[in-house]
Amino acid sequence: MCPSGSGRRVRVFALAYLGVLLLTWQEPSSLLLLLLSLILLLGAVFVYLVLRLVDAIVASL
């Protein structure tokens, strides 16, 4: 498994999180959708930070 391929998958995963966040943010009529969008935002930030950490570890090897 090559690192650039896994990094690309993680980026697509983070973009999918952000896409769902944008879709749910357009309908803040219920508290559940608002909580879901906040959870997805935090998930996207977490995935991005993990991606940067993995890139730094691979670069140091």
What pTM, to 2 d.p., does this model score?
0.55
Residue 57 in this model has a pLDDT that exceeds 80:
yes
pLDDT score recorded for residue 5: 58
Angle of helix 3-25 relative to helix 31-60, nearest 10 degrees? Answer: 160
* Residue at 60 is within a domain: yes
* Residue at 7 is within a domain: no
Structural domain for 51, as ranges: 20-61
Q: How many domains does the chain have?
A: 1
Q: Tens digits of per-residue pLDDT, 5-56?
A: 566 777 777 777 777 777 766 665 677 777 777 787 788 778 888 888 988 8
Taking the CB of residue 61, how many other CB atoms lie within 10 A of it?
A: 5
* Residue at 61 is within a domain: yes
